[in-house]
Amino acid sequence: MKIVRLLEVHLERRSAALWWKKTHHRCFGASYLDVEPTLTRLVPSVIGFYPIIKSSVRLPVSFATEVSFRSFSGITKNLEKEESAVGSNEFVDVEDEDSLLAARIKAEIPPIPSSLGFIFRVPGRLRVVGEDTYDPRIVSIGPYHHGKESLKPTERYKKWYLDSFISRTKTPNTSLKDFVKAIKKLEIDARECYEESINLSSDEFVRMMVFDGCFILELFYKSLFEKENIKSKDVIFSSTWIVHSLRRDLLLLENQIPFIVLECLFNQTTSSIDGYPSLAKLVTSFFVPILPTIQEIKENSSIRNKHLLDLLRNHLLHPSLQMDYGKFPLCEYTQSATELSQAGVKFRKKKLANGLLDITFTNNGVVEIPEFHFGVSWTVLLPNIVALEQCRQDYTDQITSYVILLDTLINSHSDVKLLRDKGIINKLFKEDENVALAINSLYKRVVVNKFYHHHLCRRINMYSRTTFPRLRASFIREYLNTPWSTIKLLGAFVAIQSCIQFLFSLF
């Protein structure tokens, strides 16, 4: 028989006193002392690991009468004596206090986040700048804001739209049971899409994905095909503010579901329908009213969209646009639009642009910038894309670099006015000052390694430092800026010419 030796197991004082009292009462007068049941209950409760005694250790009465109940060490000393008489034995050393603390520390370690995750929580340093920029107002999509009291009223909208979605797609494999089975197959992959471990049961998680996925698809469908016909009937499209708030909430980084869920539900309901619009077309039709630059999101098999925000970011990047970058801290910025204009740099709206980021500088000193419809939605979309790029290194800092460039060019209302007069900024704010403040708030507490407009800024700065463009800009500003200054210049020119003619007539 193998005897297990327990060394220095100390109980908390109250628990220890009770245990010794009960053991003393139970052991004395007994023919045999069975220590196995007591120890197997004692060890796990104290140090948190599984029972280590597999077989019963039965000791004679003579041993029990010799047991000292003052401390557990008394038992171990007698076990050592009994052990020497038996022969070879195995020993397990247990230091209760250290083991208990180690077990508690280990229990506090959270699960390691999935390395495959791409739906993140917004970093705290960015939330300090603007909490409202990252939190949903009326609808929760995905697990991060699931169950919030302020968002529960719109849960009924999801149920109504789920029923509408099922009723509209009466084709094979489009029953609610089919949707549940399809999403259950994706559950593991869908969970890994989130940075955090999702504390929901399998049924709760699948239920959430089905409700949210069907709601989004039906919302997109109604926006494209039925918006005009259902304005007076539909609970969502009959209210302008609800539609606008939903568009805003679907742009948020923390309010996303994996794109594979949307694709699964979409493909299951449209696989047998010829001529049905693509999922990208549905997305475009829904977001165009607040993001006019997104005219058409084309299918690209080489790009795997991860969620709706990622899809919009991929569209803004434009795959054919190649951008060089400079590494921090050696990146070069430029001056404000007003200062550059005073230095001879001109600005022009770029008509044929490959996306929003296609900003160029010509040899004759003209910065060409695509038109930018700046409104409330952009103050939500851009910060959330910046937050996405901040969360993972395999996301390039291209949108963040665009935000940095805007922040550099626009410092005051005069910069906004200059770019607005050139047709570059199509503002949806009433005041130029509000545009400047909104743009300057986009680049706070942001950390980047690469600036993708570094070479553009370097060329602009080199041109603005030369003498001739600066003198020409100064001359135009002083003498050709207003009609009166132009008239004065012409008058001075005529006067000088008259003086010269008079001098020639004398000789």
Higher-pLDDT residue of 394, 399: 399
Instruction: Give the tokens for residue 305.
Output: 């969209």
Q: What span, in angstroms and rounded, lies between the C-alpha atoms of 401 and 339?
A: 20
User: What tens digit of pLDDT does each residue of 399-436 get?
Assistant: 999 999 999 999 999 999 999 999 998 876 667 888 88
Q: How far is CA 381 from CA 57, 254, 377, in A?
A: 69, 12, 6
* pLDDT confidence of residue 477: 55
* pLDDT at residue 446 is higher than 70: yes
User: What are the residue ranges spanned by the domains of the chain?
Assistant: 13-107, 124-317, 326-465, 472-506
Whether 253 contacts 122, CB under 8 Å:
yes
- For 336-385, the pLDDT digits (tens) are 999 998 888 999 999 888 888 899 999 899 999 998 888 778 889 999 99
pLDDT at position 488: 65
Confidence of residue 479 (pLDDT cuts 50, 70, 90): low
Nearby residues of 38 by Cβ (< 8 Å), 6 or more positions away: 23
For residue 263, give both structure tokens. 């694709």
Q: In the structure encoding, which two tokens stand for residue 314, read together? A: 């991929």
Q: CA 36, CA 27: separation in Å to the nearest integer?
A: 13
DSSP letter, residue 93? -
Q: Comparing 47-56, 126-135, 251-260, 309-318, which segment has the lowest mean pLDDT?
A: 47-56
Task: Please provide residue 489's backbone torsions phi and psi, each rounded to the nearest 5 degrees.
Answer: -65, -45
Cα 22 to chain centroid, rounded:
57
Burial of 22-45, coded b for 16+ CB within 10 Å and e otherwise, reads: ebeeebeeeeebebeebbbebbee
291 band by pLDDT with thresholds 50, 70 and 90: confident
Is 315 within 8 Å of 399 (Cβ atoms)? no
Summarize the chain as % helix, strand, coil (round to 5).
Answer: 55, 5, 40
Cα separation, 103 vs 95, in Å, equals: 12
- Please state at what angle helix 308-317 crosses helix 398-409, rounded to 10 degrees: 70
SS3 at position 387:
helix
Residue 311 has pLDDT above 70, yes or no: yes
Q: Averaged over 242-265, what is the pLDDT?
A: 96
Helix H or strand E encompassing 492: helix 483-506
Look at residue 89 in the predicted model and tell me its pLDDT.
Answer: 43
| Highest mean pLDDT pick, 26-30, 314-318, 327-331 | 314-318
Q: Give the model confidence (pLDDT) of 140-173 as tens digits.
A: 999 999 999 999 999 999 999 999 999 887 777 7
Return d(Cα 188, Cα 229) in angstroms, integer.
Answer: 40
Q: Tens digits of per-residue pLDDT, 46-92?
A: 444 333 333 334 444 443 444 443 444 554 455 455 445 444 444 44
Q: Is the four-CA dihedral 25, 27, 30, 36 of positive or negative sign?
A: positive
Average pLDDT in the chain: 77
Name the DSSP class of 427.
E
- Distance (Å, whole) CA 119 – CA 260: 13
- Give which of 348, 380, 388 is closest to 364, Cα–Cα: 348
pLDDT in tens, 32-44: 344 444 444 444 4
Comparison of pLDDT for 220 and 342, the residue scoring more = 220
User: Residue 365: left if φ>0, alpha if ψ -120 to 50, beta else—which one?
Assistant: left
> Among the ranges 78-82, 250-254, 356-360, 482-486, which has the highest mean pLDDT value?
250-254
- By DSSP bridging, strand 326-327 and strand 450-451 are antiparallel
Please tell me the total number of residues recorded for the chain in this structure.
507
Rounded Cα gap, residues 155 and 164, in angstroms: 15
Strand runs labelled E in 5-63: 32-34, 58-60
